[in-house]
Structure 1
Amino acid sequence: MPNTLNPLALIARHWQPSAKFVERAALASVVMAVVIVVTGGAVRLTESGLGCPTWPTCTAQSLTPTPAMGINGVIEFTNRMLTYVCCAVVGLAIIAARSRSPWRRDLTRFGWAQFWVVMGNAVLGGIVVLTGLNPYLVGSHFLLAAALLTVALLMWQRTREGSGAARDLVVRPVRQLAWVLVAAATALIVIGTVVTGAGPHAGDARHVARIPVDWREITQLHVDFVYIVIGLTVALWFVLRAVDGPGAARRRVVELFVVLMAQGVIGYVQYFTHLPVFVVGLHMFGACLVWIAVLRVPLALRERPYRAQDGEEAGQAAAIPAQDPAVTAATV
């Protein structure tokens, strides 16, 4: 039989994880994606970007850092090793999703998408080292990590809902406003990446090329987009109130507002205290939380019902009637 040659199918024959286990495995991938962003930031902020001056080995003669390389070599090499940890976590999510009966292909596809993003970013990270921390490649390295976080979050979301076609819970103009919010947040993160590429924390104590713009001017543009995102968040909350939108969606908007306020405070503190390393690292962590909170808003504006083939989850959800989008539309 063809399946006997498939290791994942063989595992599925002998292991049937619960729906909760699959959900937790997907959540672990989200957490690991955040860890990768934060530890990557730590490499840059501790000037360890070239702690291992070559790739894929640490030096031309050694796979691992040597004592002469000091703490910077250890930090850079440790960050490289986290790629394997990330692969293991993503691999567990893939295996759990594949072994779950009934098998949901949408979940395994999200898992494999994460795997290939991790592999691609690992190669890009090596190119970053070989090019002496080219700021454009460093920025791309971060943005690809944000893409990993996006896919991981989508997989986690899908583990908590059915495999049926998405049903909108609000009318189209409300959904469009939510996607404008996502677009503005995307621009905010990209501009923040340019600030990083032009700013003083280059990733190494030696001279490293920077993006040739005034980082203070780009910071002002970054702040302008912060206000745009906050304004869109507040506007979306009022709109959801006006159309009697889903309570979950309104809660997600409130959560986003709180995260934005906290991130704004951190941003101002780091600017007026001349970019201390710890505060900048905290700001990177906050950027992950902002992006997660932003993505959860449009995801709360639709639902995916359970189908009979989804198994026990379908029976558990049957007692909870789905909100009729026609009722929501009638309130506009």
Structure 2
Amino acid sequence: MLQRISQWLDSAAPEARFRKVTLLTAVLTYLLVVLGGVVRVTGSGLGCPDWPLCYGQPLPPPSTEALIEMAHRYLAAVVTFFVAWVAWVAQRHYRAEKWIVRPALIGVGVIGVQIVLGAITVILKNHPITVVAHFAAALTMLACATMVATSTRTARAGSAGKTDRLVRWAVISVASIIALLFVGAVVTATNSALGCLFDWPLCRGELIPNSTELGTYIHWFHRFVAVLAGLTLAYTTIVAWRARAERHGAWVAAALALSFFIAQSAVGGLVVWSRVNLWMRGLHLAMAAAVWTMSIVLVVVAARSGVKERSSVGQADKSAPARSNSAPALSFKSTLGAYLRLTKPWIIVLLLVTTFAAMLIARRGLPPLPLVVFTLLGGALSAAGANAINCYLDRDIDVIMNRTRNRPTSSGLIDADHALAFGLMAAVGSFIVLTLGVNVLSAVLATIGLLYYVFVYTGYLKRSTMHNVVIGGVAGAIPPLVGYAAVTGTIDALALFMFLVIFYWSPPHTWALALLIRNDYERAGVPMLPVVVGEKETRRQIVLYTLQLVAITLVMFALQMMGWIYFVGAALLGAVFLARAVRLWRLPETDKALARRLYKFSQSYLALLFLFMVIDKIVLA
């Protein structure tokens, strides 16, 4: 076998030989990932309890688990050699080819991390966190090897960039596959393969199983992500098919990726029906690695064979009729995208994080899955409705501000009346979903938050007083109350303190942004704090409100609402937040870069703070 490989490599010129070696490296890396999956599904991870030897010997004892584990380690050593050799050649002869040299060099670093994680996984006796990290490193290494092998076989034929439609959807497909593989690794690491018992495609006989078991949550979520990934990959394949005349290679890669995905989904059903047969599990993982490999090939081929779309060409099509100055006619997909942007999805995500966290805190564990789904769906609809109506009311000033002039209502993509109708329908839908699927209290609270944001903040405070952010913070602080009420049916002191945390978090978060776009607010006549009292006083107020925020978070521990885990996390996060605020305040002039970092950190701060609350309640429970 080795002699044939040597003859195959020697029978080519140096450049062709390098292409062959990169292909061999990619194939061996794929086999390594598959064999690693076999190690996991057969329970062979501890077949050799020590590392790097096996029971202190280079050769394993005659047991199936030990043989599988050592075969994996020896194949890893072979892959390490080839990855290092490819990186060395790429650095010497392909420095100008970033698609070759960069992934080749990254691959060397990743395989080093992979080896260390492998050793840690053995030492920690297959701890779920190290298993998932080890798997993630393996997929990264496979991606690097695949990128190098594909790039050596595709010549750049165009200048496709991030705006290229096919490239954009290929990248989105890769992101969806990453999410699917990550959740799949969690399923394996937590032994949740039978979280839905022996039922497929339903889960315990239901579309949304009424269960509080963690394994059921994880398994059901894996299937949910699989549906999203499948739809994304299917649409990407359609985009590639439409461009097949100019980019045939990308069309083939997309079709293969979708085919492997369909096969993997079918095998996933067989895994459940066969009561987790080891051969089926191994085949399922092999198909997953194949989908991942082909999705990477698709990105590389699409990017390196890019052809600029007609809309990007400088000369217009003379045969096309001239467009009027009215809002452009949108395709169905573009219309959906415009309405999605109307809802401000990035804001909805943060609101739902605090809602779900409050549910976990109230339950001290996982609530029933249907309750979670209906609560988050109702919360998302409420936030979407409020944001859409906000865009309708603010469309006159949105068009003046650089930050908001491209919103669908201010740019003319969506008619103002249609935006209002959409917002009202979402608001009504939220009340119905929460009333029927959760309880009346959560529906009332969500509606109060929506009405407060629309009428009190947007309709009056925003344009009338420099205290708009402080008083208007009530609306953004209601989601934890909704989540808490959904589980308990009531509101207590702990829920109110979560409300206060967000209430005092809103001013420093929003004012950090206001420092960045003060000129926008000034042009639009919005009396934000920097416009009225200046940037120096605004920076001082950021420090003062951050102090109050940190104090509120620590009082929760002092009143024994939270434990030591939360206290340590809240203290560390608060110290960092306060230090950044003080640093910004002490400067003679506003540092835009520091203000931007403070604004971005404040978003992470809130999510991490609630994460510490959840961990504290669940662990100490």
- Amino acid in structure 2 at the alignment position of 1:29: T
Letter in 2 for 1:148: M
1:157 maps onto 2:150 in alignment: yes
1:63 is matched with: 57
Counterpart contact for 1:21–1:96, Cα < 8 Å: no
Q: Does 1:37 align with 2:33?
A: yes
Q: Which has the higher contact order (CA 8 A, sep 6+)?
A: 1
Kept in 1, the 8 Å contact 2:192–2:218? The answer is no
C-alpha distance 133-172 of structure 1, shift in aligned 2 (>3 A): same
Alignment match, 2:490: none
Give the drift of 1:160: 1.8
The CA distance in 2 between the partners of 1:159 and 1:241, in whole Å, is 24
* Greater Cα offset, 236-245 or 274-283: 236-245
> 1:251, 1:165 → 2: CA distance?
17
1:221 corresponding residue in structure 2: 221
Contact 2:258 2:291 survives alignment (8 Å): no
1:167 Cα deviation after fit: 0.9
Give the conservation status (yes or no) of the 8 Å contact 1:259–1:289.
yes
Q: Which amino acid aligns with 1:78?
A: A
Q: Which residue of 1 aligns with 2:406?
A: none
Residue 193 of structure 1, aligned match among 178, 185, 195? 185
1:182 match: 174
Deviation at 1:27, TM superposition (A): 1.0
**Do the aligned partners of 1:17 and 1:99 also contact (CA within 8 Å) in 2?**
no
Q: What SS does structure 1 have at the residue aligned with 2:44?
A: coil
Contact 1:170 1:245 in 2 (8 A): no
CA distance in 2, matches of 1:293, 1:121: 22
DSSP 3-state at the match of 1:21: helix
Aligned-residue Cα RMSD (Å) equals 3.1
Q: Which residue among 33, 36, 47 is the counterpart of 1:51?
A: 47
- Contact 1:50–1:129 (8 Å) recurs in 2: yes
Match of 1:293 in 2: 294
**Offset at 1:265?**
1.0
Q: Which shifted more, 295-304 or 151-160?
A: 295-304
Distance in 2 (CA, whole Å) between partners of 1:71 and 1:242 is 49
In structure 2, which of residues 68, 74, 80 is the aligned counterpart of residue 87 of structure 1? 80
Counterpart in the other structure of 1:251: 252
Gaps of 5+ in 2: 1-11, 194-211, 318-330, 332-621
CA offsets 1:68-89 (integer angstroms, 9 cap, x no match) = x733223322322222111222
The 3-state SS of whatever aligns with 2:63 is: helix
Q: Can you give the 5+ residue segments of structure 1 that lack an aligned partner in the other structure?
A: 1-15, 202-211, 305-322
Instruction: Kindly provide the amino acid, as one letter, of the partner of residue 44 in structure 1.
Output: R
In structure 2, relative to structure 1, the CA distance for the partners of 1:260 and 1:105 (3 Å cut) is: closer
- Give the counterpart of 1:123 among 116, 120, 123: 116
Using the size of structure 1 for normalisation, the TM-score is 0.74
Cα distance in 1 for residues equivalent to 2:102 and 2:182: 27
2:15 maps to 19
Q: Distance in 2 between matches of 1:240 and 1:94?
A: 31
Amino acid at match of 2:298: V
After superposition, what is the alpha-carbon deviation per residue over 1:181-225, rounded to whole angstroms, capped at 9, x for unaligned? 221111111111111111168xxxxxxxxxx96334322221222
Q: Which residue of 2 aligns with 1:135?
A: 128
Whole-angstrom CA distance in 2 between matches of 1:55 and 1:324: 50
Name the larger-Rg structure: 2
Instruction: Say if 1:238 and 1:285 are closer, same or farther in 2 by CA, change over 3 A.
Output: closer
Indicate how the Cα distance of structure 1 residues 242 and 56 shifts in structure 2: closer, same or farther if over 3 A, else same: closer
Aligned partner of 1:317 in structure 2 is none
CA distance in 2, matches of 1:242, 1:64: 54
Aligned length: 284
Is 244-253 or 39-48 further displaced after alignment?
244-253
- C-alpha contact 1:25 1:93 (8 A) present in aligned 2: yes
Q: How do 1:317-328 residues align onto structure 2 when only pairs under 5 Å count?
A: 324-325=307-308, 327=310
Q: Deviations over 1:277-325 (max 9, x none)?
A: 1110111111110101222223232226xxxxxxxxxxxxxxxxxx752
Amino acid at match of 1:150: A
> 1:276/1:170 Cα in 2 relative to 1: closer, same or farther (>3 Å)?
same
Alignment of 1:280-319 (within 5 A): 280-303=281-304
1:108 deviates by 4.4
